Amino acid sequence: MPIRAGDFWVADIPYTDSSTSKKRPVLVLWIDGLDAIVAAVTTAAPRTPTDVALVEWVAAGLRKPSTVRLSRLDCLEQSLLLHHLGVVSSADGQQLKRVWLTSVQPQF
């Protein structure tokens, strides 16, 4: 299955010390060659302006109410995306884009 921006996947995210990894849901933001730029997805409630609570999380294939953390980005090899969960809804996608444009920017 091709990996596309707007897809939710289960990713095998390695720890920075490479000792192990953890399987976590992510939202693919864009594809860059063989890599995917992804945002972390969590069941924790939003805690910063860059966290977006998903309204249509069931339709997106997620098991529990979820938040996309746009401040928690990873660049992963596409081979680390293991299982397709679903696709972000149009309404949630528009909210993610609004938050990205207003709150995600370099701090220098």
CATH of the domain at 94: 2.30.30.110
State how far the Cα of 63 lies from the Cα of 57, in Å rounded to an integer: 8
In a domain, 2, yes or no: no
In a domain, 95, yes or no: yes
pTM for this entry: 0.94
pLDDT given at position 14:
87
pLDDT digits (tens, 9 = 90+) for 13-40: 988 887 899 999 999 999 999 999 999 9
- The answer to whether residue 11 is domain-embedded is yes
- Predicted confidence (pLDDT) per residue in 70-102, tens digit: 999 999 999 999 999 999 999 999 999 999 999
**Is 84 within 8 Å of 103 (Cβ atoms)?**
no
Let me know if residue 69 belongs to a domain. yes
| pLDDT value for 52 | 98
How many domains is the chain built from? 1
